[in-house]
């Protein structure tokens, strides 16, 4: 399963980036980036996955003593949690920018936003 | 001592606290912001003090009460504390600077600023890879916020471009981090480093991704378009932060990463860094927008530091001294420049001319660009020195060359900019001065000088700011309010006094140069008495030059020598720039001089082979494979100063356009610095062979061709001062020739040239300067017949040209006589042909000078002009007297040196000074007898002629025999323009400006390359992202190629 | 006491010069089947001009021009020993060696140029530019030859050079270093102000070149120089290349023969323009000089 | 690993890639946004399978929920996002 | 078209890097050093059943603090950017009221959602979920209210006070960690309590609650700020 997730993740990243680098509409760029972000998250979780183990939560099923042999690596999950939230933050920020850009200049086309160059 | 974690906790807490305040309490919120930043700075500062002074050990901060790698830990050591202090202080200044903007945007903006600074400190402190990522994201997002503080609406576009690229960067980094974690089982940086990530399959690839992500934040070429857009459009105070704080923190993050990656990544770091350094400097060359230029410069500087980081394997314990020196210099300078840019209303570089109304701000600007370029006494200078030595010791000469090339480009555009400030149109209206902003900028100036002092103390080479001549020169800065006359007295007293004090310490050889440079300078300074008012900027510049000269003469170590060299170069540049139309010429002077200086640096570095404390005398012991190269580098460097052919094109403009009293200084005195260097070089290294070619023979050719080309070009000049300037090229060619003869008399002749050229060239420049001052033109064909109106100037010129041409009985003949005796023992004769041809040509321009200015027909518009001002005439008359004395008794100056030189050429060649006759192995010469015989013949005939024609009346101007016509207009009768037309027909082809064309082509090539290449920055955010991707892919391919595919 | 002997030398040379130049003119005329001037014509001219008084002047440099000029000629003569082995006629050669003589040549040239320029006459200036231009190229082979000779004898002292040529005619530099002599003689043509290199004086195009404005005693001084200077210069050639002269008859003969070289060339060849003569010297004379220098 | 789980995850992967295609290629921004939300949603299911319930919850709530809403909020304010 | 092709090529290259990563990837069969430590020590050291939560709040608390700050930052920036235009805003247009069903439904649902959110973050140390998820759930309540009444105005003041106070509490508890426990952000300033109980795992539930509140407030602030911009 981890191979599938990882493969899918990488595919999503590449697809997202393709979308982000070829669409001119800023909103579409941002959307494409969220797809790529999801791909990254998938890869991250997949790296922590271990066959035949359970979630890193100690309960009746998994006692503290058995934890070492029963649970999967919790660290990537913790990282992904942070990454998702940060991803949201960046997305929100970009959206705000897009909105503001639209408000100020009336454009959403990144290729028209070239008054700074060279 | 407060734990450094409070820097982070404090910043964060205050940011959250700001949210509690009512939106209206702006002042209170601002107070909290400032207090927090001050607190953060204080904590960082106190730790820095503890580390630096008390030698405390680095502090480890374990969060969550758990040891790493299981919890995040932070580390604060000397470097971290220094960076934190830098960032927090910059932040504090930025907050002060942005007061208006922050008030307008309210507490939210202040919170963002606090978080930004806090996050940067986090980036520096953390030892956990993922934590690094989090802090970097914080930096990125807050950057996104702070960019919007700009009043420039284009900042929006810049921000979104930045965010797009940042998205890519964070993705790469996340993937890299998780795979690195998978490979090593830890997220701790030190843990990963210990685990040798590269041994794990996939681990090195993971590291590659992380490395690329962080490196991309350094804005490497070509993946840096977004950064430039931010620099151009953001609020200047933020641009400063972005350059200084973000740059510094990211560099430190990369430094930490290199721990993990290990030595195999160092070459890649250097490669990326140096490409960025050169590309960015190249592009900056064609910028006209100030902030974008500063952006390119920031990118370049960070690229340079990155290059240095890649060299840490050989830099050893000097690594932090060098990288830190460059980083701090960059930081203070860039912050200062960005802050200055906030004071200037318009955005073109030329609009900065408005600064001229505020000398203090001009001084600030100079300080900043000197910091950036790495001129003494600033940290970059010491860093450059050490870096060059360590690189050269390890044979990384290509890299050294590239670094110096990039630095030269940087100096070129920065000083061009300075030229705009000093020379272009501008008024106070172009400035928007606010006390807060000005204070912040001046604060940076103070810090710059403090750093200069600190780095001097740390350098181990002796602190340049302890050098009395330099301090004396700097003393004139606070005294600028005094009238010029007072300052002139001080300057003269200083020069003479210093000469008197150091007199006992000079040997015969040094004494010649010291006499020309110090009392000689004082003599020329007499002419400066004629200027009125305060003459702001003249004295610090002049005294800087003289300080450099006086330090040069006595320099024992190569470091002192080089420091003095750069000092005098910079000082003279400022002096030359003062001329009315000298902007392009001063720039060309500076670029050539710095280029030469860099060659000298490279030469010393190569010679020292890692010995930091290299003595000049030890040049003699340089081993075989390096020796000829050292020789060539140093020789070319010095010859740039003497304006030998090929690198002479700066001289005519620089000397001709300088002010009346500056021309003699830079011509009569400054050129001797190059000769001094050549002397020292030849004294220590002697003859060297490169690929079987005797290098002194090459120098012979260069000297001869310089003499010929200089003289030839001089005869075709219409501008009197340009004529004299080209004449200097020729004269220096003679001196170089004499030196390259490598025999006793050749050197003696060169020394005689030092004295002679100083006297007659100073005299001629003063005389011509006085004439130009009275007539308002330097075009000789517009003058004519001034002999009756300006008799004293005429006498000075007459004596001057007789002396220059080497006609007996004046002192020029002595030079020629020694020259002939010298070439008798030369082992290589062909170049003599050229030098023989050059000799008579000197007559042509000299005659032209005196004929077209003083003889011939007086023009109507000049009938009422007066003799040149007293203070310009006085030194000329002293020079005339000196010339006579030197002509009669050359032994006064030469005897001791003659003995001194004997130690280099054992046994043969020195002169005999018996009574009044001077004799060599081949001939003899009695100056007094010559003077007496000629004097008697001359005066007898003259007296007789006067006697028989005692009744003769002066005739009217046009009372001449004129082919049946009676001329009535002086313009048509004064034969002066295109004076040597037949000569041009015969030999004009030799004066093809090939060299000029060559350098123009080089300049043109650089400019058009920059113009074409910078088009990759299309302004499209997606393109920038593609650049980044391409950058990653290319580096990947290079890395795979370099490591044969791990 | 050197001074009376020096004055005697001067007297001899001036008289010899006056007669010789007249004689050469006479010979030229006779070859051209003209009657020519009487042999004492130069004396007449000179005395007449010395006798005249002027009432006009163009300023101080106007005086100085002829003074410089003649000082240059006299100095040149007196700094070089005239008669080899004669203490009386060694003149003031103790003051300096060959280099002094070589550079003192320019003294007169420079002074003349200055003086003529002071007249304010544009033609004078044109003549000077031509003269100076030509001189730069004409002096080069001579300088090379001198250098070659000095190298050959390892001395710069004229007396020593002459001494080295004694004994046999084959010891003359003419035979020991023919390239140097050839180069020097070509240069000699240029410095004699005779055709084909006399455009400087340009009797046709410019009234009479630099001396246009000179007359009376000014002209007298210059005329004196015009007879003195060639001889002085030839003395150097004679000493360097043709074995010097041990007594006055040999002196007269050698000077005359050397002078005749330029006179002969002058009647055979047409006149060069300045740029042509510059090229001519560079193409023909300089390579000879270079060979001479390199061969030694 | 049992076959059912494997099949489901393959299906999810295919669905995600399909949705991602729609995101990239869709004409209307709204469609793209919805598709992107779907990608997130499928991903959160996959996370659940991969024993990462915390991540699954977060992805569902934030990645597919809030983010999509944010998109629509902005989309509504820029005239349908036409450039 | 050229751009697309270039992008495609570059992504192909990037893809090959990814493939290399994939090829080099060998799944662990045992927990690695760090994970093993967490598996072994979390229960007695921190007392949290959900090891992810223990890591997020304690071991990697600094990350989480940063993460919270990211949201705070984003919300602040959005507030700052969007408030710039607000002064010039024209009068709101009158919008038709939303449907009866939605209004009633929301009245019913909002308290439930809030409760759910609170449950999620309070139990973060025991079960899946925590402050972020809970915060998002709380924000969805606000979202619902906005949907029913687009003109509804939330108190910015309240939101920012909640935001700031929660943030300060987080920082303060971190600082308390230095004073009373092992270091910054050490959650053991309160007793670890009984393993598996609600009030256990030291200060984790407290922090997670405030994180929940903060995240909720920040999401709400983002949403309302965007909602308050003029609908054009």
- For A51-79, the pLDDT digits (tens) are 878 888 877 777 777 778 888 888 999 99
The predicted pLDDT at position C135 comes to: 84
Give the helix/strand (H/E) hosting C135.
helix C122-153
Is the ipTM above a cut-off of 0.85? Answer: yes
- Token digits of residue E182: 């092992």
Residue of B nearest to A38 (CA): B171
Whether chain C lies against chain E with 3 or more Cβ pairs closer than 8 A is no
Per-residue pLDDT for B274 more than 90?
yes
Query: Maximum CA pair distance of chain B?
Result: 115
Percent of chain C at pLDDT > 70 equals 96
Mutate to test the interface with A, among B164, B177, B230, B292 (most CBs of A within 10 A): B164
Closest CA to C117 of B721, B761, B794: B794
The predicted pLDDT at position C212 comes to: 62
Residue B940: Cβ-neighbour burial (10 angstroms; 0-12, 13-18, 19+):
middle
Say how far apart CA C1 and CA C91 lie, in whole Å. 10
Give just the sign of the alpha carbon dihedral B270, B271, B273, B277: positive
Say how far apart CA B152 and CA B230 lie, in whole Å. 11
The predicted pLDDT at position A64 comes to: 75
The predicted pLDDT at position D1 comes to: 55
- Token digits of residue B719: 């501008």
Per-residue pLDDT for B1045 more than 50?
no
Say how far apart CA B798 and CA E89 lie, in whole Å. 84
Give the model confidence (pLDDT) of E111-124 as tens digits. Answer: 888 888 888 888 77
Say how far apart CA A32 and CA A40 lie, in whole Å. 13
Say how far apart CA B824 and CA E82 lie, in whole Å. 88
Give just the sign of the alpha carbon dihedral B658, B660, B665, B668: positive
Are B173 and B253 in contact by the 8 Å Cβ rule? The answer is no
Q: Which residue has the tokens 């699954």?
A: D56
Q: How far is CA B932 from CA B861, B929, C90, C97, C225, in A?
A: 42, 5, 17, 16, 21
Residue of C nearest to B823 (CA): C147
Mean pLDDT for chain B? 90
In chain B, where are the structural domains located? 262-466, 467-939, 940-988, 991-1025+1032-1042
Give the model confidence (pLDDT) of B654-675 as tens digits. Answer: 999 999 999 999 999 999 999 9
The predicted pLDDT at position E91 comes to: 44
Q: What distance lies between CA B1000 and its chain's CA centroid?
A: 20
- Token digits of residue C18: 């006056």
Q: How far is CA E77 from CA A27, B108, B258, B515, in A?
A: 19, 7, 34, 67
Q: For residue C203, name the pLDDT band (cuts at 50, 70, 90).
A: very low
Q: Is A1 in Cβ contact with D20 (below 8 Å)?
A: no
Say how far apart CA B185 and CA B68 lie, in whole Å. 12
Average pLDDT over residues B358-363: 92
Whether chain A lies against chain D with 3 or more Cβ pairs closer than 8 A is yes
Q: For residue B1043, name the pLDDT band (cuts at 50, 70, 90).
A: low
Per-residue pLDDT for D82 more than 60?
no
- Token digits of residue B208: 């590659």
Q: Where are the alpha helices (DSSP H) in B777-890?
A: 791-805, 811-824, 831-854, 870-888
Closest CA to B74 of B16, B132, B137: B132
Q: How far is CA B924 from CA B247, B913, C94, C241, E115, in A?
A: 70, 10, 8, 21, 115
**Alpha carbon of A112: minimum distance to chain B alpha carbons (Å):** 8
What residues pair up with B198 in beta bridges, in sequence order? none
Say how far apart CA D45 and CA A112 lie, in whole Å. 39
Q: Is B145 in Cβ contact with E76 (below 8 Å)?
A: yes
Q: Is B1017 in Cβ contact with A115 (below 8 Å)?
A: no
Say how far apart CA B355 and CA B351 lie, in whole Å. 9
Per-residue pLDDT for C44 more than 70?
yes
Mean pLDDT for chain E? 81
**Alpha carbon of E123: minimum distance to chain D alpha carbons (Å):** 12
Say how far apart CA B623 and CA B327 lie, in whole Å. 35
Q: Which residue has the tokens 């955005």?
A: B347
Tell me the Ramachandran region of residue C112: left when phi exceeds 0, alpha when psi lies from -120 to 50, beta otherwise. alpha
Neighbours of B515 (CB within 10 A): 17
Q: Is D69 in Cβ contact with E223 (below 8 Å)?
A: yes
The predicted pLDDT at position E232 comes to: 44
Are B625 and B607 in contact by the 8 Å Cβ rule? The answer is no
Are B127 and A75 in contact by the 8 Å Cβ rule? The answer is no
Helix (H, G, I), strand (E, B) or coil at B60: strand
Per-residue pLDDT for B965 more than 70?
no
Q: For residue B193, name the pLDDT band (cuts at 50, 70, 90).
A: confident
Per-residue pLDDT for E89 more than 50?
no
User: Containing domain of residue D35, as a range?
Assistant: 3-81
pTM across the whole model: 0.93
- Token digits of residue C153: 């004898």
Give the model confidence (pLDDT) of C125-176 as tens digits. Answer: 888 888 888 888 888 899 899 999 999 999 999 999 999 999 888 889 999 9
HEC letters along D1-22: CCHHHHHHHHHHHHHHHHHHHH
Are B664 and B766 in contact by the 8 Å Cβ rule? The answer is yes
Which range is least confidently modeled, B226-230, E75-79, E205-209? E205-209
Most confident of B257-261, B828-832, B1007-1011, D72-76: B1007-1011
In chain C, where are the structural domains located? 2-295
Q: Which residue has the higher pLDDT, B470 or B624?
A: B470
Interface D:E, Cβ pairs < 8 A: 49
Say how far apart CA C187 and CA C143 lie, in whole Å. 9
- Token digits of residue B447: 């810090």
Give the model confidence (pLDDT) of D13-64 as tens digits. Answer: 999 999 999 998 888 888 999 999 999 999 999 988 888 888 998 888 888 8
D48 inside 8 A of chain A by CB? no
Q: For residue B611, name the pLDDT band (cuts at 50, 70, 90).
A: confident
DSSP-derived secondary structure letter, C157: -
Percent of chain B at pLDDT > 90 equals 63
Q: Which residue has the tokens 């008084």?
A: C53
The predicted pLDDT at position C206 comes to: 46
Per-residue pLDDT for C204 more than 90?
no
Q: How far is CA B382 from CA B260, B386, B559, in A?
A: 29, 6, 9
The predicted pLDDT at position B337 comes to: 95
**Alpha carbon of E142: minimum distance to chain B alpha carbons (Å):** 20
Average pLDDT over residues B989-995: 86
The predicted pLDDT at position B522 comes to: 95
Per-residue pLDDT for B1046 more than 50?
no
Q: For residue B962, name the pLDDT band (cuts at 50, 70, 90).
A: low
Average pLDDT over residues B958-973: 73
Per-residue pLDDT for B67 more than 80?
yes
Q: What distance lies between CA E69 and its chain's CA centroid?
A: 10
- Token digits of residue E177: 């960690």
**Alpha carbon of D67: minimum distance to chain E alpha carbons (Å):** 10
Give the model confidence (pLDDT) of E59-82 as tens digits. Answer: 888 899 899 899 899 988 988 888
The predicted pLDDT at position C205 comes to: 47
Window 120-179 of B: residues touching E by CB (8 A cutoff) are 122, 126, 128, 130-131, 134-135, 137-138, 141-142, 144-145, 148, 175, 179
Window 40-69 of D: residues touching E by CB (8 A cutoff) are 53-54, 56-58, 61-62, 65-66, 69
DSSP code string of B695-735: HHHHHHHHHHHHHHHHHHHHHT-SBHHHHHHHHHHHHHHHH
Q: Which fold has domain A2-52+70-112?
A: Helix Hairpins (1.10.287)
Whether chain B lies against chain C with 3 or more Cβ pairs closer than 8 A is yes
Are E201 and E125 in contact by the 8 Å Cβ rule? The answer is yes
Are B557 and B613 in contact by the 8 Å Cβ rule? The answer is yes
Average pLDDT over residues E127-152: 81
Most confident of B193-202, B866-875, E170-179: B866-875
Query: Which chain A residues are within 8 Å of D62, Cβ to Cβ?
Result: 84-85, 88
Q: Is B1026 in Cβ contact with A21 (below 8 Å)?
A: yes
E50 inside 8 A of chain D by CB? yes
Average pLDDT over residues B999-1013: 93
Please, which chains are in contact with E (at least 3 CB pairs closer than 8 A)? A, B, D
The predicted pLDDT at position B628 comes to: 92
Please, which chains are in contact with A (at least 3 CB pairs closer than 8 A)? B, D, E
Say how far apart CA B567 and CA B542 lie, in whole Å. 11
């Amino acid at each position: 399963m981890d191979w599938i997730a990882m493969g899918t993740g990488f595919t999503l990243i590449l697809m997202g980036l393709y979308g982000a680098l070829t669409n001119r509409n800023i909103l579409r760029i941002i959307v494409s980036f969220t797809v790529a972000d999801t791909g990254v998250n998938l890869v991250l979780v997949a790296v922590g996955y271990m066959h035949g183990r359970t979630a890193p939560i100690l309960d009746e099923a998994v006692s503290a003593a058995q934890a070492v042999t029963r649970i999967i690596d919790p660290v990537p999950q913790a990282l992904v949690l942070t990454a998702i939230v940060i991803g949201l933050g960046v997305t929100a920020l970009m959206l705000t920018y897009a909105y503001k850009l639209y408000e100020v200049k009336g454009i959403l086309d990144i290729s028209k936003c070239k008054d700074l160059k060279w | 001592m407060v734990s450094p974690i409070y820097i982070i906790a404090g910043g964060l807490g205050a940011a959250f606290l700001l949210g509690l305040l009512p939106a209206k309490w702006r002042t209170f919120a601002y107070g909290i912001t400032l207090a927090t930043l001050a607190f953060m700075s204080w904590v960082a500062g106190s730790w820095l003090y503890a580390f630096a002074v008390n030698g405390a050990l680095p502090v480890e901060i374990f969060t969550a009460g758990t040891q790493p790698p299981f919890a995040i830990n932070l580390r604060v050591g000397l470097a971290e504390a220094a960076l934190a202090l830098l960032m927090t202080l910059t932040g504090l200044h930025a907050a002060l600077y942005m007061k208006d903007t922050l008030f307008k945007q309210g507490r939210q903006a202040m919170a963002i600023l606090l978080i930004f600074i806090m996050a940067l400190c986090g980036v520096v402190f953390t030892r956990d890879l993922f934590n690094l990522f989090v802090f970097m994201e914080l930096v990125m997002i807050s950057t996104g916020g702070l960019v919007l503080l700009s009043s420039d609406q284009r900042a929006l576009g810049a921000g979104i471009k930045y965010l797009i690229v940042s998205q890519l960067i964070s993705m790469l980094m996340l993937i890299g981090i998780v795979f690195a974690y998978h490979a090593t089982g830890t997220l701790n940086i030190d843990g990963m480093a210990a685990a040798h990530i590269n041994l794990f399959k996939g681990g090195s690839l993971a590291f590659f991704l992380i490395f690329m992500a962080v490196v991309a934040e350094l804005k490497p070429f070509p993946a840096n378009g977004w950064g430039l857009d931010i620099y151009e459009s953001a609020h200047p105070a933020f641009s400063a932060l972005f350059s200084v704080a973000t740059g510094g923190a990211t560099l430190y993050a990369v430094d930490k990463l290199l721990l993990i990656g290990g030595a195999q990544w160092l070459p890649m770091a250097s490669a990326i860094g140096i490409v960025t350094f050169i590309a960015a400097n190249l592009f900056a060359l064609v910028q006209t927008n100030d902030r974008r230029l500063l952006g390119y410069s920031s990118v370049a500087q960070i690229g340079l530091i990155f290059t240095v980081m890649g060299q840490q394997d050989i830099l050893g314990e000097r690594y932090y001294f060098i990288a830190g020196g460059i980083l701090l210099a960059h930081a203070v300078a860039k912050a200062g420049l960005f802050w200055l840019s906030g004071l200037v209303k318009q955005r073109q570089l030329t609009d900065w001319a408005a600064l001229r109304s505020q000398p203090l701000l001009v001084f600030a600007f100079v300080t900043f660009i000197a910091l950036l370029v790495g001129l003494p006494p600033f940290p970059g200078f010491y860093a450059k020195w050490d870096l060059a030595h360590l690189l050269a010791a390890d044979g990384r000469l290509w890299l050294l060359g590239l670094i110096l090339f990039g630095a030269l480009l940087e100096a070129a555009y920065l000083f061009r900019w300075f030229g705009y400030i000093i020379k272009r149109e501008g008024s106070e209206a172009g400035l928007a001065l606010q006390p807060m902003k000005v204070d912040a900028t001046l604060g940076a100036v103070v810090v710059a000088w403090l750093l200069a002092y600190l780095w001097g103390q740390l350098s181990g080479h002796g602190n340049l700011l302890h050098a009395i001549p330099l301090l004396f020169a700097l003393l004139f800065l606070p005294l600028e309010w005094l009238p010029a006359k007072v300052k002139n007295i001080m300057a003269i007293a200083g020069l003479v006094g210093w000469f008197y004090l150091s007199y006992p310490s000079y040997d015969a050889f040094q004494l010649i140069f010291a006499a020309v440079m110090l009392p000689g300078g004082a003599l020329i300074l007499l002419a400066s008495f004629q200027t009125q008012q305060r003459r702001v900027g003249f004295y610090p510049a002049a005294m800087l030059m003289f300080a450099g000269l006086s330090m040069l003469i006595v320099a024992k170590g190569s470091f002192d020598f080089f420091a003095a060299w750069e000092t005098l170069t910079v000082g003279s540049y400022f002096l030359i720039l003062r001329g009315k139309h000298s902007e392009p010429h001063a720039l060309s002077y500076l670029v050539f001089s710095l280029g030469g200086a860099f060659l000298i640096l490279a030469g010393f570095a190569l010679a020292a082979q890692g010995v930091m404390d290299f003595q000049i005398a030890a040049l003699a012991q340089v081993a075989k494979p390096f020796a000829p190269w050292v020789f060539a580098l140093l020789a070319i460097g010095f010859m740039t100063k003497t304006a030998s052919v090929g690198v002479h094109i700066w001289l005519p403009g620089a000397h001709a356009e300088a002010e009346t009293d500056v021309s003699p200084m830079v011509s009569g005195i400054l050129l001797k610095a190059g000769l001094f260097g050549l002397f020292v070089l030849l004294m220590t290294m002697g003859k060297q062979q490169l690929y079987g070619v005797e290098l002194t023979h090459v120098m012979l050719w260069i000297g001869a061709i310089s003499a010929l080309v200089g003289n030839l070009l001089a005869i075709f000049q219409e501008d009197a001062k340009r004529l004299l300037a080209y004449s200097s090229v020729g004269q220096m060619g003679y001196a170089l020739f004499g030196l390259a003869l490598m025999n006793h008399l050749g050197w003696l002749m060169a020394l005689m040239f030092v004295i002679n050229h100083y006297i007659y060239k100073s005299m001629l420049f003063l005389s011509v300067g006085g004439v130009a001052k009275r007539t308002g033109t330097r075009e000789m064909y517009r003058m004519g017949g001034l002999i009756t109106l300006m008799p004293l100037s005429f006498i000075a010129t007459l004596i001057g040209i007789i002396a220059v041409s080497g006609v007996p009985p004046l002192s020029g003949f002595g030079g020629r006589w020694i020259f002939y005796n010298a070439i008798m023992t030369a082992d290589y004769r062909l170049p003599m042909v050229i030098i023989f041809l050059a000799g008579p040509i000197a007559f042509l321009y000299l005659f032209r000078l005196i004929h077209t200015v003083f003889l011939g027909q007086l023009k109507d518009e000049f009938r009422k002009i007066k003799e040149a001002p007293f203070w310009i005439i006085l030194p000329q008359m002293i020079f005339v007297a000196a010339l006579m004395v030197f002509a009669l008794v050359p032994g006064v100056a030469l005897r001791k040196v003659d003995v001194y030189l004997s130690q280099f050429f054992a046994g043969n060649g020195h002169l005999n000074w018996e009574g009044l006759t001077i004799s060599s192995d081949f001939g003899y010469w009695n100056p007094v007898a010559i003077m007496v015989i000629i004097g008697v013949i001359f005066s007898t005939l003259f007296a007789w002629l006067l006697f028989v024609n005692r009744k003769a009346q002066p005739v009217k101007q046009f009372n001449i025999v004129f082919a049946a016509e009676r001329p009535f207009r002086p313009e048509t009768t004064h034969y002066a323009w295109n004076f040597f037309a037949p000569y041009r027909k015969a030999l004009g082809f030799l004066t093809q400006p090939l060299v000029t064309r060559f350098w123009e082509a080089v300049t043109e090539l650089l400019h058009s390359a920059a113009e074409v290449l910078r088009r990759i920055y299309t302004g499209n955010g997606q393109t920038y992202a593609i650049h980044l991707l391409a950058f990653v892919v290319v580096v990947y391919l290079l890395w795979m190629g370099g490591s044969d595919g791990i | 006491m050197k001074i009376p002997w020096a004055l005697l030398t001067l007297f001899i040379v001036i008289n010899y010069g006056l007669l010789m130049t007249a004689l050469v003119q006479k010979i030229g005329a006779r070859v051209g089947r003209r009657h020519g001037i009487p042999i004492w014509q130069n004396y007449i001219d000179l005395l007449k001009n010395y006798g005249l008084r002027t009432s006009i002047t163009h300023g101080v440099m106007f005086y100085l021009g002829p003074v410089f000029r003649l000082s240059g000629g006299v100095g040149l003569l007196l700094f070089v020993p005239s008669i080899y082995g004669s203490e009386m006629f060694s003149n003031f050669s103790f003051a300096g060696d060959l280099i002094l003589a070589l550079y003192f040549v320019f003294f007169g040239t420079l002074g003349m140029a200055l003086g003529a320029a002071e007249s304010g006459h544009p033609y004078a200036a044109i003549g000077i530019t031509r003269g100076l231009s030509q001189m730069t190229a004409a002096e080069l082979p001579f300088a090379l030859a001198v250098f070659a000779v000095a190298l050959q004898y390892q001395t710069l002292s004229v007396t020593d050079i002459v001494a080295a040529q004694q004994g046999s005619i084959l010891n003359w530099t003419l035979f020991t270093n023919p390239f140097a002599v050839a180069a020097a003689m070509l240069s000699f043509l240029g410095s004699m102000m005779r055709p084909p290199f006399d455009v400087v004086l340009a009797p046709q195009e410019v009234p009479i070149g630099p001396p246009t404005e000179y007359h009376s005693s000014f002209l007298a001084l210059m005329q004196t120089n015009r007879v003195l200077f060639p001889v002085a210069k030839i003395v150097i050639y004679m000493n360097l290349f043709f074995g010097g002269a041990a007594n006055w008859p040999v002196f007269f003969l050698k000077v005359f023969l050397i002078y005749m070289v330029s006179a002969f060339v002058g009647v055979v060849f047409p006149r060069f323009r300045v740029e042509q003569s510059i090229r001519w010297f560079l193409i023909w004379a300089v390579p000879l000089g270079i060979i001479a220098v390199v061969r030694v | 690993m049992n076959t059912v789980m494997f099949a489901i995850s393959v299906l999810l992967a295919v669905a995600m890639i399909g949705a991602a295609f729609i995101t990239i290629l869709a004409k209307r921004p709204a469609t793209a946004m919805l598709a992107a939300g779907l990608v997130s949603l499928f991903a959160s299911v996959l996370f659940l399978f991969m024993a990462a319930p915390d991540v699954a919850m977060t992805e569902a709530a934030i990645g597919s929920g809030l983010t999509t809403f944010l998109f629509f909020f902005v989309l509504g304010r820029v005239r349908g996002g036409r450039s | 078209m050229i751009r697309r092709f270039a992008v495609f090529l570059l992504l192909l290259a990037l893809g090959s890097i990814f493939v290399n990563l994939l090829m080099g990837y060998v799944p662990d069969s045992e927990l690695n050093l760090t994970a093993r430590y967490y598996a072994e020590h979390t229960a007695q050291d921190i007392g949290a059943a959900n090891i992810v939560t223990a890591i997020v709040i304690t071991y990697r608390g600094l990350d989480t603090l940063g993460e919270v700050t990211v949201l705070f930052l984003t919300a602040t920036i959005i507030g700052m950017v969007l408030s710039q235009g607000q002064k010039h805003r024209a009068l709101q247009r009158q919008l038709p009221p939303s449907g009866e069903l939605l209004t009633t439904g929301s009245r019913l649902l909002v308290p439930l959602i809030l409760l759910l959110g609170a449950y999620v973050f309070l139990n973060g140390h025991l079960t899946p979920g925590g402050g972020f998820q809970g915060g998002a759930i709380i924000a969805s309540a606000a979202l619902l209210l906005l949907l029913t009444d687009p003109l509804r105005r939330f108190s910015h003041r309240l939101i920012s006070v909640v935001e700031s106070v929660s943030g300060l509490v987080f920082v303060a508890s971190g600082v308390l960690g230095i004073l009373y426990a092992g270091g910054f952000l050490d959650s053991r300033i309160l007793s670890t309590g009984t393993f598996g109980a609600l009030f256990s795992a030291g200060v984790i539930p407290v922090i997670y609650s405030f994180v929940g509140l903060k995240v909720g407030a920040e999401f709400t602030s983002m949403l309302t700020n965007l909602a308050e911009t003029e609908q054009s």
